[in-house]
Amino acid sequence: MAKTKAELLEEAKTLNLEVTEKNTVAEITTAIEGAAAPAEEKKAAKSGKRSEKGIQEAEEKAAKKDAQEHRAEDEAEEAAKPKQPQRATTVLERRAKGYRKAAESVEKGKVYSLKEALDLAVKTSYVKFDATVELHINLGVDPRQADQNLRDTIQLPAGTGKTVRVAVFADADDAAAAKKAGADIAGSDEFLAQLDKGKIDFDILIATPAMMAKLGKYARVLGPKGLMPNPKSGTVTTDVVKAVTESKAGRVEYRVDSTGIVHVGVGKVSFGADKLSQNVKAVFASIKNNKPSSIKAAYVQAIHLTTTMGPSIKVEVSEI
């Protein structure tokens, strides 16, 4: 049953439509039907919030807000979970695989006899090259005191296992004799010419006392490299032939460092325990003979033996 105009006006009023009695029944009906149509069927505005662009931006904003809320919920849930305790890595665990395997053979806290330590050092050397066996002796000395600043040179009975390049700075006669004794470089003014060019291709420099004055200007170059000749190390001498022979045969120099420790290489792993033992005992004898008279407390505090890149092995102090 069709609605009367009065009923249609009442319905239009309910929908807040701007119609009056002047409008026809058909116009009022069309207005009511338009108001009741679904929102998606309405024609979008050209601009503003109801435009297609405005609606799209609103939808994107709502999606972004929803994603943020979900992320916050996930973070809160993750934070609520009990944290798994992280395992603290030790220094040993950070070392190379070969080192860790070698260190397993060294009993922690144990002090070894010299023979046991040498056997173990040779056994635990895992590198592919012929490693150097190093001796580290912690002495109860104060290097700041002149009489306790230990420094000496010794002849290792079994040699060092290294090819040492020896240079001799001397006059013509001594240079010729040094060359015959096995010196790699020997000369006077021509040797200085090589230093002027910055060419240093030697491991030990020997000089006669008369020639030392000419080396003074090169002290800043040779000194930091440990190459400056010194009477205490036997590299300033009148007997250049003997100095060259000893240097080639296995003479080594040691000096206590600022912390009171002596570091010295005593040979190669390929020497075997017996030859290494001879060299170590020669170092021990020198250390013992050079004990400062002012030392009243314990002179030797600790001894450690190791190979290049290998684990440290503690040695009985009574071995000295």
| pLDDT tens profile 136-173 | 999 999 888 888 888 888 888 888 888 889 999 999 89
Task: Check residues 41 and 252 and name the one with the higher pLDDT.
Answer: 252
pLDDT at residue 26, as a whole number: 76
Average pLDDT over residues 105-109: 86
Query: Which residues have a Cβ under 8 Å from the Cβ of 30 and sit 6 or more positions away?
Result: none
CB 168 within 8 A of CB 244: yes
Distances (CA, A) of 154 to 45, 99, 158, 303: 101, 31, 12, 19
Say what the pLDDT of residue 39 is: 44
Q: 29-38, 117-126, 163-172, 236-245: lowest mean pLDDT where?
A: 29-38
* Token digits of residue 94: 């950070």
Q: In what order do the strands lie in the sheet with 166-169?
A: 185-187, 166-169, 204-207
What per-residue confidence (pLDDT) applies to 91?
A: 65
| pLDDT tier, 79 (very low <50, low <70, confident <90, very high otherwise) | confident
Picking from 103, 104, 125, the residue whose alpha carbon sits closest to that of residue 270 is: 125
- Provide the pLDDT for residue 100: 83
Give residue 41's pLDDT band: very low, low, confident or very high (50, 70, 90): very low
Report the CATH number of the 162-249 domain: 3.40.50.790
d(CA 182, CA 172): 16
- Per-residue pLDDT, 314: 93
Residue with tokens 């021509």: 190
- Output the CATH code of domain 107-161+250-320: 3.30.190.20
Q: Among 44-58, 117-131, 159-173, 296-310, where is mean pLDDT lowest? A: 44-58
Domain positions in the chain are 5-64, 107-161+250-320, 162-249
What average pLDDT does this structure show over 45-60?
Answer: 70
Q: pLDDT band at 124, cuts 50/70/90?
A: confident
∠ CA 38-42-44 to the nearest 5 degrees? 140
Helix 172-181 vs helix 240-249: crossing angle, to nearest 10: 30
| pLDDT confidence tier of residue 40, bands split at 50, 70 and 90 | very low
Q: Both tokens of residue 74?
A: 């996930």
